[in-house]
Amino acid sequence: MKRLLSIIPILTLFASCTKKEDIAKTDGTIVTTIGMIADVVREIAGDKQEVINLIGEGVDPHSHQPLKSEVDRIQNAGLVLYNGLMLEGKMGSVLSSRKEKGIPVFALAEGLENVELIGDQAHPDPHLWMDASIWAKVADAIGVRLSDFDPENKEHYGSRLTEYQKSLTDLHTYALMAFGTIPPDQRVLVTAHDAFSYLGRAYGIEVRGVQGISTESEAGNKDINDLVAYLVEKKIPAIFVESSVPEKSVQAVIQGAAQEGHQVKIGGTLFSDAMGAPGTYEGTYIGMMDHNITTITNALGGGVPQAGFQGKLND
Ligand SMILES: [Zn+2]
C-alpha cells in the first residue's frame, strides 16, 4: 500500500508534463513580476532581450490575483525574475510550478550576501528596493542571471551593469544628503503601509506605517489611535499616501490628528510597491526613488531641488 501511494504522484507529474508543453519549450522571453525588477533588467540587457513585466503601475503586488494571461506568460517564459520574500503572495504557486519544470526562476531578494533583512525570520520585509545600496546588489544578481541565460552577450551585460551601477551610487549618495537636510526631530516618515523600513534604516529616518508590511492586513482603530497620538506628540507636519494603496486609513489618521488640534498635511504620493507610468522618469527605478526622496525631504522641512538630483522630476 505504501509503495503504491508513492507511485501516484510520479504518475500524475508525468501525465501533466506530457499533456502540457514539453519541459524545455519556452518562447525565450524574460518575465518579471514588478517594475523595479523589469527596469533594472532592461537597463542591463539593452536591446538584447525582450522583458515582459506582469504587475504594473498602481497595482499592489501583495494582493494581486494573477490573471490567466499572466500565468500563461510565466508558463512560456525562458527566464523568470521575481522579488520573493512573499511579496508576490498569490503568484507564488505559479512561480514554483515553473521552477519544478526546470525553467530558471529566481527570487532576487532571497539569499543576498551581506544584506540583513528587516523583520522576523518567518516574515521578512520584502521591500528591499527602498535602499539603493541593496538594490545595487540585486542589479549584480540580475547581471549574473542574464549572463547565465545568454552567455554570448556576457560582456555586453557586464559593461552596461557597470554603467548602471554608477547611477545607483549617485542615487544612494543623493538620498543620504537629502534626508540629512531634514531637521533631526522631524525625520519621521508615516506612510499607508510599512514599505519604507529599508529606506529608513539606510538613510536615517524613523518609519511608521498605518498598515503592516503587507497591504493584506487592514489597519485597526487601535493602530490609528496610536499613530495619531504619536504625530501629535512629535508635531510631525506631513504624512504620505502611496500610489498602489487606497488613501482611506491615511485620511483617518489626518482626521484623528485634527480632532486633537494638530494639523497634518498630505506630503505627497509616494511610489511604494509600483512605479509611475511607463515611459516617464517616475516609471523607472531611479526616477521613482528620486521622486520619493525629494518629496519626503521637502515635505518634512528639508531642502532639495523640486526637480530632484537629475533635474528630471516634473512637479
Ligand atoms: Zn508592500
The verdict on residue 27 lying in a domain is: yes
Q: Are residues 146 and 53 in the same domain?
A: yes
Q: 224 pLDDT band (50/70/90 cuts)?
A: confident
The CA distance from 135 to 145, in Å, is 15
Residue for grid cell 490567466:
68
In terms of phi and psi (left: phi > 0; alpha: psi -120 to 50; beta: otherwise), the region of 308 is left
Residue for grid cell 542571471:
145
Q: State in Å: Cα 192 to ligand 1 middle.
A: 10
Give the DSSP letter of residue 117: P
The verdict on residue 161 lying in a domain is: no
Residue 31 has pLDDT above 60, yes or no: yes
Q: State in Å: Cα 288 to ligand 1 middle.
A: 15
The verdict on residue 311 lying in a domain is: no
Q: State in Å: Cα 127 to ligand 1 middle.
A: 6
Beta bridge partners of 265: 238
Residue for grid cell 520574500:
85
pLDDT tens digit string along 110-167?
999 999 999 998 999 999 999 999 999 999 999 999 999 999 999 999 999 999 999 9
**134 CB-side CA count, 13 A:** 26
Q: Which of 201, 215, 242 is nearest to 118 (CA)?
A: 201
Q: State in Å: Cα 225 to ligand 1 middle.
A: 22
Q: Are residues 21 and 151 in the same domain?
A: yes
Q: State in Å: Cα 215 to ligand 1 middle.
A: 6
Q: State in Å: Cα 195 to ligand 1 middle.
A: 5
Q: Are residues 116 and 33 in the same domain?
A: yes
Residue for grid cell 531642502:
303
Q: State in Å: Cα 244 to ligand 1 middle.
A: 9
Q: State in Å: Cα 197 to ligand 1 middle.
A: 11
pLDDT at position 16, please?
Answer: 43
Give the structural domain span for 113.
Answer: 16-156
Q: Are residues 210 and 150 in the same domain?
A: no
Please report, for the domain that includes residue 58, its CATH number: 3.40.50.1980
Q: 6 pLDDT band (50/70/90 cuts)?
A: very low
Provide the domain count of the chain. 2
pLDDT tens digit string along 179-213?
999 999 999 999 988 899 999 999 999 998 887 65
pLDDT at position 27, please?
Answer: 86
In terms of phi and psi (left: phi > 0; alpha: psi -120 to 50; beta: otherwise), the region of 311 is left
The verdict on residue 272 lying in a domain is: yes
The verdict on residue 310 lying in a domain is: no
Q: Are residues 146 and 225 in the same domain?
A: no
Q: Are residues 122 and 184 in the same domain?
A: no
Q: Are residues 202 and 252 in the same domain?
A: yes
Q: Are residues 121 and 208 in the same domain?
A: no
